Amino acid sequence: MSKKYKVGIVGIGAVGTEMVRILRQRNFPVEEIRVMARSERDEEIAGEVLHVVPASPEAFDGLDFAFFAGTEGSKGASQQYGWEAVSRGVVVIDNGDDFRMDDRVPLVIPEINGEALRNHQGFIANPNCSTIIALMALAPLHRAAGIRRIVAATYQSVSGTGRGAIDELEEQVKAYAAGRPPVNKEYPHPIAFNVLPQIGSLKDSMPGYTSEEAKLLFETRKILTAPDIRISATCCRVPVMYAHAEALNIELEKPLTAEQAREILAAAPGVVVVDDPSQALYPLPLKAAGTDDVQVGRIRPDNSTENGLALFVCGDNIRKGAALNAIQIAEKMIEMGLV
């Protein structure tokens, strides 16, 4: 990577801040980091002061990459500026969900379907955080034995909602300790010491399911190029600051033992097997937070279905589930000579 690249980051919330950290941590070949947001100001990130400029079409001029860093559910920035940036010669990598299912836009996890980048039209989408964390474990098993059906229950941290939700959980814990009633604004109910079995809005096209649950279905099919995979998901918000956990039950086309699955996953890039319940070793959000790999454990037969396996995964939703995956997409494009 001898060439240096001019990089824009649109949004400086939880994901945008982490993108700056990761660019530095991974020694990405950066010539310039240009941060854009609604208002002009200075932001200090990991001891580095960055000047934030107001987003505008002209602010993208001269950039090689633009990372749209909105947290899940954020709307507007890539809709307003994404294709405009592409028209100015910028490669856009979007963390939001506005264009994930657009036929023009590759939806990419580099370890899984990096080859999809070859047909890019200047705009690449980052999958949803829960999709990335699940597929880091499931894609190697799918390649080995073919997945027919997935039943997923997710336990998603509040950082997926953004900084406001992180602050709200902290304040609710303090209120509980002080004997005060909790105040909730980010969610319809208090999140501290609670589990909320709804993430996103209800989908008219999938009665009873939420937008988060629908993403897991449709994004998985697109990334794996497997339109017939059946998925039922229940997505829950839990009082955890960082890292999502997911319980996954899969039905395979061919039999695969738990030990074979462990061997496959141990060899998969970006995956760490943590699987010795006799020693209380299994994936944990507290252990996954701040790390780049997805942890997989509790790998066992699911005897309720033919060729069934059950497993439990954890991954940092702000890193691999968002910021890191986006930067890995850019790294992969450089590696492949696409920019």
| Residues labelled as active-site residues | 129, 244
Q: How far apart are CA 183 and CA 329, in angstroms?
A: 39
Backbone angles phi and psi of 293, in degrees to 5:
-85, 155
The candidate with the shortest Cα–Cα distance to 308, out of 243, 254, 242, 267, is: 254
Starting from the edge strand earliest in sequence, which strands make up the sheet with 48-54, in order?
A: 41-45, 48-54, 30-37, 5-10, 65-68, 91-94, 123-125
Backbone angles phi and psi of 116, in degrees to 5:
-65, -20
Q: How far apart are CA 100 and CA 216, in angstroms?
A: 12
Q: How far apart are CA 150 and CA 127, in angstroms?
A: 18
Distances in Å between the Cα of 269 and the Cα atoms of 84, 127, 295, 299 are: 34, 18, 11, 18
The candidate with the shortest Cα–Cα distance to 153, out of 197, 191, 109, is: 197
Placement of tokens 């987003």 in the chain = 55
Structure tokens at 38: 């609604």
